[in-house]
Amino acid sequence: MAESIPGGSSATARSERPSAEGKPVILTCVDCHEEFTFPKSAREYFEEKGYAHDPKRCKTCHHNHKLQKAAEQSLRTENQNPPGGLMSLPNHQRVPPRAR
């Protein structure tokens, strides 16, 4: 969809986040369903980093989600690699984990 730009040229319109003109945006957390603010400074940071979407978790739930993911990753790693490494296992158990 092309729109007219002063000066006679045309440009393709791209979808952007709703503009709040410097006001904080109120969002709802997908985990706790509480409202949280997404301030202008955070929106500018997201745009600078190239993030296409607004955050979907409040700060507390975002932190808890990161901790949960790290704990799950740690458990996966511990299960795949025994404490002494593969060489600490008997020969018949030295089969490396298969790739997923």
Q: Give the global pTM.
A: 0.55
With cut-offs at 50, 70 and 90, classify the pLDDT of residue 69: very high
Task: Please state the separation of Cα 3 from the chain's center in Å.
Answer: 33
The answer on pLDDT for 96 being more than 80 is no
Q: Which residue in 43, 75, 52 sits closest to 67, CA to CA? A: 75
Phi, psi dihedral angles at 77 (to 5 degrees): -65, -45
SS3 88: helix
